Chain A
C-alpha cells in the first residue's frame, strides 16, 4: 500500500483508457440509476402498505386464510339462556366439529355459525368471544392462540328465558310476525321471536347446509332469514298513538285534560285537514263526549290524536320520537333497523304537509316501525318514563369466571313520572276499562291489572291490515313489556292482543 518516493497521487479520473469527452461521466448515470432503484423499492413499499395495511383485514377474514381454517377446528363457546339452558354448542359429526342448536325456537337471537356459510345473530355478534379470540388486540389474540397459552372459548349467557321464548314461538304459530318481550326496569330482553323461522341445525349441517340456505332464500319463501323483530319495518297503526301522546305531553302541547270540542262531530263526519278527511273507527259508546287523553286512548280515537299531532307540531313529534329511539339504529346485540316517523324530505320538518303529520299522529302516513322499537315504547311508559337500554346478553364467562357482565343502563329519561302516570292510566284503561274492553280487552290477564294498546295498521289496497299490540303488566309495577305484530293478521284487538296478554300472563306465572 505504501508508495516509495515522491509521487503525485493519481487523480481519480486519470488512467482512463479512452476519453474523447464524448462519454458523459458515469456519476450522472449512477445518480439516475440510484433514482430508478429508489423508485423500484418505493413500489415495493407501496405494495407492502397495500397488502399489510389496506387489505390486511380483508385477507385475514377470508375463509381461505389458513388462520381461519385453523380456527375452525378450535372449540367454540356455548350460548345459554338466563337459566342455563343450552342454546348453542359444539358437537362432532364424523370427526368434524359442527355447531348444534337444541332449541331452534331461539333462532333469531342465537343465529347460526358455519365455517363456510357465515354467521348471524349472537353467533356473529359475539364471534370473537365464542371463538376465544377476544383480547386487547387481534394480534394479541393470535399470540395467545399460537403461543404459550391456548385461548379460552367463552360462553355467552343471554337474558332470554327459553320457556317464554318457546311460548312466544308457539303463540305465533304459522303466522308471519314477531314478538318482543323485555323487562322494562332493566332492559333485559326476555323473548324475541320472529316467524316463520328456520332450523339452524340444517343450515350448519356440513354438505347439505348450502342447499338448505338456497332454499330458504328462494323468492316466494316468506323470508325466514329476516329477523322481523329487529329489522322488520311495519306501519304501526294505532300503537303509534302512544308515541304521539308522549310527544304531546312532553312538549307541553297538551295536558291530560285537553279536549277538542269539534272532535265528537268529526268522529262521525271525519276531520278535514287541508282537504283530506281523517276518518275514525267505530266506538258508538262514547256518544258525543269530547274525549280527553285517557279516554281517547281507551277508544283509540284517530281524530283526537290527529289534533294532538297537529298541536304538537312536526319538529316536536320527531324530537320526542327520537328520544324513544326512533330515527337511528337501536344499539343492541343484534343488528337493528331504524324506525321512522316520516320518510322525510318534506318541507314541514321532513313531513310533506299537515296531512301527513295528522296521519302519522295516529300511526298511518309514512311511519314505519320495528317491533323492538314499539316494545321499547311500551317499556318506557311502564317504567315511569325512563327508557332502559335493551340488552340481550347478561354476561360472558369462561367457566365460572365472569369476563364481562352487563348492568342495566338508563338510555333516556323521556318523561317525568308524573306525566308518565297519565299514559300508564291511559293504557291500563285501554285494556281494563269499560270503554276500552271492547277493543283491547282480550289482552287482559285474569287477576292482574294489564296495560296495553292495540293497533290495526291499514296498508291501503285490499290487503288485510297488520295486527299490533303493545303492553305491559302488572300495570303499576310491570315486570314485562311486549310488542306483538302479526303481518296482515287483521284486527289488532282480535289477533294480536290475545297473544300479548297470554304471553305476559304466562311470564308472570313462570317468574313467580
Chain B
C-alpha cells in the first residue's frame, strides 16, 4: 500500500471512529436517562429551602424539590442550579440512601460546608441542617406533600 493510501485509510477510519466515539460517549447515559424518565417520575424525599443566595438565583425562600440523587452546581444540567461565581460547575451531591440524606463534595474549588464545617467524604445530613455551596446557603427540609 502506498503512503497515500495509508493516509486516506487513516483519515477515513479516524472519521468513522470519531463518529462512533460521539455515540459511545452518549450511549450509556442516554439509555439510563430514558429508562429513568419513562419509569414513573421519582418522588422526592426531601427539598432544599434557599436561605441566602447573593447571586440572585435561586430565589431566596424558594423550595427546590430533590431527586434521590441531586447534584448542585453552576452547570445547567445540575438538579439544583446555583448561579454563584464561587460555586464550581459540579459542586456537591445530595444522595438519599436508606432513610438518610448524604452530602458529598464533588471536588469543588471552594469546598462544601455543612453547618459551617467543610465536608469530607459522604456525610449524613438531617432535616434542618444548613448546606453552603459557594455563597449560597440551603436548608434541608422534608419534601412537600408528604
Residues on A lying within 8 angstroms of B by beta carbon are: 1-9, 11-13, 25, 27-28, 30-31, 34, 136, 140, 143-144, 147-149
Contacts and interface: CB of A to CB of B under 8 A. Distances in A.
B34 A34 contact: yes
Contact of B63 (A1, A4, A8, A28): A8
B23 interface: no
B25 interface: no
B94 to A, nearest CB: 16
A3 B61 CA distance: 9
Contacts, number: 50
A27 B62 contact: no
Interface residues of B, number: 22
A30 B38 contact: yes
B4 A7 contact: no
Contacts of A9: 47, 62-65, 144
Question: Ordered nearest first, which 6 A-B pairs have the shortest CB separation?
Answer: A6-B61, A31-B38, A27-B38, A2-B59, A9-B65, A3-B59
A141 B45 CA distance: 64
B57 interface: yes
B59 A4 contact: yes
Given A2-B56, A34-B34, A143 B5 contact: yes
Q: For chain A, what secondary structure do more than half of its interface residues adopt (helix, strand, loop), or is it mixed?
A: loop
Nearest to B5: A140
A1 B144 CA distance: 21
A7 B47 CA distance: 12
Nearest to B37: A27
Contact of B58 (A2, A34, A144): A2
Contacts of B37: 27
Contacts of B34: 31, 34
A140 B2 CA distance: 10
12 contacts: A2-B58, A4-B59, A5-B59, A6-B63, A9-B47, A11-B145, A27-B39, A28-B38, A30-B38, A31-B34, A34-B34, A149-B4
A10 to B, nearest CB: 9
B31 to A, nearest CB: 10
B56 to A, nearest CB: 7
A2 B57 CA distance: 6
B1 interface: yes
A7 B41 contact: no
A12 B4 contact: no
Q: For chain B, what secondary structure do more than half of its interface residues adopt (helix, strand, loop), or is it mixed?
A: loop
B79 to A, nearest CB: 12
A1 B56 CA distance: 11
A5 B144 contact: no
A5 B144 CA distance: 17
Given A2-B59, A3-B59, A7-B62, A27 B40 contact: yes
Nearest to A28: B38
Contacts of B145: 11
Contacts of B41: 12-13, 27
Interface string B38-71: 1111000001000000001111011111000000
A25 B38 CA distance: 10
Interface string B1-43: 1001100100000000000000000000000001001111100
Contacts of B59: 2-5
A3 B38 contact: no
Contacts of B57: 1-2
A224 B17 CA distance: 54
Nearest to B38: A31
Nearest to B47: A9
A423 B64 CA distance: 103
Q: Which of B8, B38, B63 has most chain A Cβ within 10 Å? A: B38
B143 to A, nearest CB: 10
Contacts of B8: 143, 147
A3 B50 CA distance: 12
Nearest to A9: B65
B38 A34 contact: yes
A34 B37 CA distance: 12
Contacts of A147: 8
A1 B62 CA distance: 12
A263 to B, nearest CB: 66
A136 B8 CA distance: 14
A34 to B, nearest CB: 6
Nearest to B40: A27
Nearest to B49: A6
A149 B4 CA distance: 10
Given A5-B59, A9-B144, A28-B38, 16 more contacts: A1-B57, A2-B56, A3-B59, A5-B61, A6-B63, A7-B61, A7-B62, A8-B144, A9-B47, A9-B63, A11-B145, A25-B40, A27-B38, A30-B38, A143-B5, A147-B8
A136 B39 CA distance: 52
A234 B56 CA distance: 100
A11 B145 CA distance: 10
A134 B18 CA distance: 30
Contacts of A136: 1
A320 to B, nearest CB: 45
A25 B62 CA distance: 28
Contacts of A143: 5, 8
A3 B62 contact: yes
Given A2-B58, A140-B5, A143-B5, A11 B65 contact: yes
